[in-house]
Amino acid sequence: MLSNQTQLLRLSQGQLNLLEACPRKFQHTYLEQLSSPLNPEHEERQTLGSRFHLLMQQREMGLPIDSFLEADAQLQSWMAGFANAAPEILTPAIDNQTFRESEHYRTLQVQDYLLVVVYDLLIADNQQAQIIDWKTYPKPPSKRKLEQNWQTRLYMFLLAETSEYLPENISMTYWFVQSQGKPENIKFNYNTAQHQQIDKKLQKLLNQLTIWLESYQKNQPFPQVRDGSKVCDYCQFAPRCDRTQATEEIANNSLPNIDSIQEVSL
């Protein structure tokens, strides 16, 4: 699992979020592969989210989707709502100048790490590139929260680093297909100043990770967040970390963060 000269440690946006939220949680989840089962409600939501992603992928590939829609009223209503709200996204390019691909995969090596992204849909022409991401949970987070999420930062950063597009010509749009019954979107434009800032943050976080990994190899665990931190209230590792959760209800009902739901796992 640890990086060496021939093997790079792969990192997705979800892992960067974990690392930033609590390094010890990253250790438990990623290095030690510990996790607790999702509660049935979360599991059901996750399955439905995955089905929607698959449906959009099949559609983009030109494969028939009618039988899926007929068998699932929820998918049918999401798709109808989305087709109404953003017909231009669902309309395939009729020229040869626009590139469209669902589940578009890119990687970038930074230090000893391989950063990996999978865009739900990438639409690019000779002027601009748009990253589209589907979310199927009910309530969109605030724009500020989403902006701070490594998914937003890493997705646009990686496209700017691995393509000819200037940051100013890159955007990312989240579509929340079931928010209040009507799809909503949150769009982020990118620029050079943000790109440089993210680069700095990323380098710092990865430098820190290298130090923590070296210590971990000498049996020194990754740091925990400070005692009393709210993040422990919602963490499944609280007993392992000797941190008490506020109530059992919180532990049982704690929502997984947005990275663990409805995303392709990397």
Residue ranges binding ligand SF4 (CB under 6 A): 22, 24-25, 28, 224-225, 231-232, 235, 237-238, 241, 243
The Cα 249–Cα 129 span in angstroms is 44
- Beta carbons within 10 angstroms of residue 6's beta carbon: 5
Shortest Cβ distance from residue 225 to ligand SF4 (Å)? 5
- Between residues 122 and 232, which has the closer beta carbon with respect to ligand SF4? 232
Report in angstroms how near the CB of residue 232 gets to ligand SF4 at its nearest: 3
The residue among 131 and 238 lying less far from ligand SF4, judged by its C-beta, is 238
- For ligand SF4, the closer of residues 28 and 153 by Cβ is 28
Tokens of 151: 């998914």
Of 179 and 224, which has the nearer Cβ to ligand SF4? Answer: 224
Residues whose CB falls within 8 Å of the CB of residue 199, separated by 6 or more in sequence, listed in order = 157
Shorter beta-carbon distance to ligand SF4: residue 138 or 223: 223
Residues 223-253, buried b or exposed e (16+ Cβ, 10 A)? Answer: ebbeeeeeebbbbbbbeebebebeeeeebee
Do 127 and 169 form a contact (C-beta atoms < 8 A)?
A: yes
CB of 239 to ligand SF4, least distance (A): 8
Burial class (CB in 10 A: 0-12, 13-18, 19+), 101: middle
Output the smallest distance, CB 28 to ligand SF4, in A: 6
The nearest distance, CB 36 to ligand SF4, in angstroms, is 12
